[in-house]
Amino acid sequence: MDFDDYLKGQLAKTDNNNQNLNLARQQYAESAIMALVEVAIIWLEKKEKIDSQTANIIRNSANIIDNLGKLFGWF
């Protein structure tokens, strides 16, 4: 392989790794919040701080991931 092509390929790889890392951070943060919100809801329900109806509202809330993500500075 020609040296210029090799260099281009290597630089493309580094860009790709960087993009993949950023994408992965965002995707995993979302999955992690979803998993943790579920744990938090179960705990709050058990301690009778919320009822099952509220638990479902929280579960199905569209804004929770965005809001919590922003809160913790992930997005």
Partner 1 sequence: MGIKEPNLTEDQFKLVQDELRTRVNERQFRVSIVGQTGVGKSSLINALFGTKLKTDPVKPCTKDIEEIPIETKQKNTLFFYDLPGIGESDEADEEYLQKYREHLQSSDVILWAIHADNRSVVFDLQSLKKIMEGYTQEQKAVLMSKLTFILTKADVLHPPSWIAAKIGNIVKFLPSPETNSTLEQKALYYQKTFIEPYGSLIVSKTYNDCNFSIQEDGFQCDRDLKLIYYKGYMNAEKFKSYQQQYPQYQKIFERLYDNYQVIPCSAVFRYNLNKLMLVILNKLGHEATIQFQKLIASDALDQIPFDQTENLCNLLVYDPKTKNTLFEFRRWLNVQKTKTTWF
What is the separation of C-alpha 49 from the centre of its chain, rounded to a whole number of angstroms? 26
**Identity of residue 31:** S
Site string for partner 1, 9-28 (x = CB under 8 A): -xx--x--xx-xxxxxx-xx
In angstroms, the Cα distances linking 58 to 3, 14, 44, 53, 67 are: 56, 40, 11, 9, 12
- Contact between 74 and partner 1 per CB under 8 A: yes
> Contact residues for partner 1 (CB under 8 A)?
1, 3, 6-7, 10-11, 14, 17-18, 20-25, 27-37, 39-41, 43-44, 49-50, 54, 56-64, 67-68, 71-74
